């Protein structure tokens, strides 16, 4: 408990438990000093008031532990992702509220895809020091936080009054908004660019999400086109297009590309092969309407 209550931030947030710990600490230090001065077993065992003071100190420790557990629970309820952390890890974060960058080693446990946050160091005049402007994964792939586009206030831990959970909740909100905004932009870009050029411009998760959205859109367009040229022909044409995209993606993986793009392409090939096979199947069974069960079963 000593490293915990040696933190000014913890002492400020848990004043009652802090005072109790100081009292227990004083009892322990005094007992140890007296034992050091007179190390005999008999002398120590017969020391007046020692047993009562240690029993009392143990009672206070129980109170401190309960207070600490309640304190951590309030933080976990405020930011439920804290439940993924151990008590020691959470205390490490809470004990360093003046240095928000200390949260970086624990981001992976709180957010599966986030390795670290991008804190401004004050060198950019358009931002204040510690403004949070992006999140990055382990491979360095970056999603910028689109504050203006998403109509969200710029996040700076200094504005939260030392409450880590408060600004982390805001990080979670802007992360979701920014990802949705990026997916929207990528969806529009997909329809303007060549498939292989498009892949190279966007983040892995965005590529996979938009690819699935576009498959649904393209298969519905093919079914509608099938009312003119025949369902099987229209859907088979789409399946052949997807097959060509699979081959082109495989060729791209064999070239010199970044590790992040290679990982994204690997996942994309798996999804694309599934989409290709599903599209050939839909052509074979003769899907003629967007409400046909064979299509709806795939969408679910």
Residue 123 has pLDDT above 90, yes or no: no
Mean pLDDT of the chain: 89
Mean pLDDT of 158-174: 90
| Short-list 99, 197, 183, CA closest to 146 | 183
| Short-list 104, 96, 163, 95, CA closest to 132 | 104
The packing angle between helices 50-78 and 15-37, to 10°, is 150
Confidence of residue 300 (pLDDT cuts 50, 70, 90): low
Read off the pLDDT of residues 36-62 as tens digits, 9 standing for 90 and up.
888 888 888 888 888 899 899 999 999
Distances in whole angstroms, Cα of residue 108 to Cα of each of 63, 82, 171, 209: 33, 11, 14, 21
pLDDT at 241: 93
Read off the pLDDT of residues 136-146 as tens digits, 9 standing for 90 and up.
998 889 999 99
Q: pTM score, two decimals? A: 0.79
Read off the pLDDT of residues 230-275 as tens digits, 9 standing for 90 and up.
778 889 999 999 999 999 999 998 888 888 889 999 999 999 999 9
User: Helix, strand or coil for residue 247?
Assistant: helix
H-type helices in the chain, by residue range? 2-5, 8-13, 15-37, 41-45, 50-78, 87-94, 107-110, 164-190, 195-199, 204-229, 231-253, 259-285, 293-299
Mean pLDDT of 174-183: 96
């Amino acid at each position: 408990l000593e490293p915990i209550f040696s933190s000014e931030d913890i002492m400020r947030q848990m004043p009652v438990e802090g005072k109790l710990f100081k009292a227990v600490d004083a009892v322990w230090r005094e007992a140890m000093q007296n034992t050091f001065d007179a190390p005999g077993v008999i002398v120590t065992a017969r020391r007046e008031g020692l047993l009562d003071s240690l029993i009392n100190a143990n009672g206070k420790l129980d109170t401190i532990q309960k207070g600490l557990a309640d304190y951590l629970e309030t933080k976990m309820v405020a930011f439920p992702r804290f439940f993924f952390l151990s008590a020691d890890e959470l205390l490490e974060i809470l004990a360093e509220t003046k240095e928000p960058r200390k949260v970086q080693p624990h981001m992976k446990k709180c957010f599966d895809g986030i390795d670290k946050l991008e804190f401004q160091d004050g060198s950019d005049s358009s931002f204040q020091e510690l403004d949070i402007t992006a999140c990055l994964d382990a491979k360095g792939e970056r999603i910028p936080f689109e504050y203006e586009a998403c109509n969200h206030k710029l996040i700076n831990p200094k504005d939260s009054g030392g409450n880590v959970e408060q600004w982390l909740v805001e990080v979670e909100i802007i992360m979701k908004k920014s990802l949705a905004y990026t997916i929207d932009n990528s969806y529009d870009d997909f329809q303007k660019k060549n498939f292989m050029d498009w892949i190279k411009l966007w983040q892995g998760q965005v590529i996979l999400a938009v690819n699935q959205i576009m498959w649904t859109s393209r298969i519905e367009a093919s079914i509608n086109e099938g009312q003119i040229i025949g369902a099987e022909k229209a859907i088979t044409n789409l399946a052949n297009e997807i097959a060509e995209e699979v081959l082109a993606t495989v060729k791209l993986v064999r070239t010199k590309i970044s590790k992040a793009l290679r990982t994204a392409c690997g996942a994309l090939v798996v999804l694309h092969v599934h989409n290709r096979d599903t599209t050939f199947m839909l052509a074979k069974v003769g899907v003629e309407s967007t409400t046909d069960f064979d299509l709806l079963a795939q969408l679910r």
